[in-house]
Amino acid sequence: MHILRAAARFLVAALIGLCSISAWGVVVALPRYNVSVNEVSVSGLSSGGYMAVQMHFAYSATVRKGAGVIAGGPLYCSESNVLIAQGPCMNGGGSRDLPFLLSVVQTWSGNGYIDPTRNLAGSRVYLLSGTIDSAVLPPVMDDLRAMYARFIPRAHIAYKNDLAVEHAVPTDDFGNGCSIKARPYINNCNFDAAGNILRWIYGSLRARKTGALSGVFINFDQAAFWGNFDPAVHGMADSGFAYVPANCAAGQACRLHVAFHGCEQNADSVGDAFYRNAGYNRWADTNNIIVLYPQAARTAANPYGCWDWWGYDDLNFPAKSGGQMVAIKTMIDRIVSGNAAAPFQCLDWFSDNVTHVANRRAYVGLGQQVYAVNSNQYLGFYSAFAYTSVRNTSAGYFAYGRCSSAIDR
């Protein structure tokens, strides 16, 4: 009997390690699913649109299918300056200096700060700019289209710029009036933006679900994907959401779409409006698409819960090494690690930096500084006395921190 009691105590301890409680209920470890990395895409509104662009460019070897952007702008538009972000990158006034931004992208692609831009050529991009959007004006989106056209065939770029919608995700069944600019920044305009994005990126899809959804929403632990397990300090919430169709939960081959909310559109601001009603889930349900809804959070430097596209938390915000960028990348890695054709087991090591370098988990840069391979995250000095944790979340990709949960180990 004492053996059974010990086993029961072990099971309870294990479950506590995998679950916690948030305002949204039980928080679970993000599961693995049978998703190929070839089927990953992103989209977003406003700061989420900028975040989608950052993920698409910086991690183009992972975000292979494409991107949807509503009221966003060119990569590195802000140039790490909040005044440029609020000015030329939103209201269209002043110069965004597109030639300079393009030269920066080319330089970053060449030095590994972002993935090579040649990866973008096979992806598809859907852009939407409302004619009455008063937050991000159409000229900003025009520049984003021009930037993408340097790297993607024009036939792969769709640009919807004739819809009279304010700063919001347009739907055909939920939200404010089309000319309203207010929470939850979802407007009923008789236009299904999410459906158009998904159909452009993935091609022909089955009709969206009209009845009750077959799948489930999960509230997953985001802290596990931050190196220090402290995302709230860096503008990300402790937990995020995902919609998982029943077929995906049962192990069928599925796709993954990451949908980034905009400013004042996270769950703390608008409840479940974005992750339940932005329009993605009914298409996902009938087409085996998991939809990941990561969550940004308010901080003193980020009072509206925006994604970092101007450097409020990290000067490396648009790069592979950006904190929020690595968090999202490792979430994607976690989901696709269950792919039946190419499963992957996360591994981590706590060791000195000399050993990390010797085992090709890290490399030495200028000034004897050490960086994780592929993510380029800073690990400290090249020294046998400098100890750090490094995780391997996908083939050839290493980042600071430990694996996402106890079930990885």
Residues marked as catalytic: 46, 133, 167
Task: Record the tokens describing residue 332, joined without a space.
Answer: 């994607």
CA distance 210 to 330: 33
**Which token pair is 160?**
């919807």
CA atoms within 13 A on the CB side of 167: 22
CA nearest 57: which of 98, 112, 3, 117? 117
Q: Which of 375, 272, 390, 387 is nearest to 327 (CA)?
A: 375
Structure tokens at 138: 């159409």
CA 257, CA 207: separation in Å to the nearest integer? Answer: 17
Q: How many angstroms from the chain centroid is the CA of residue 243?
A: 15
**Secondary structure letter of residue 341 according to DSSP:** S
Q: Answer for the pair 348, 333: CB distance below 8 angstroms, yes or no.
A: no
> How many Å apart are CA 40 and CA 290, to the nearest integer?
10
Cα–Cα distance, 342 to 344 (Å, whole number) = 6
Q: How many CB atoms lie within 10 A of CB 341?
A: 8
Count Cα atoms within 13 angstroms, Cβ side, for 168.
31
Q: In sequence order, what are the residues at sequence separation of 6 or more whose Cβ sits closer than 8 angstroms to the Cβ of residue 185?
A: 45, 46, 167, 168, 169, 262, 264, 265, 270
Alpha-helix runs per DSSP H in 291-347: 323-336
Q: Which strands make up the sheet holding 239-244, listed edge to edge?
A: 19-22, 25-28, 216-221, 239-244, 289-293, 254-260, 35-45, 66-70, 124-128, 157-160
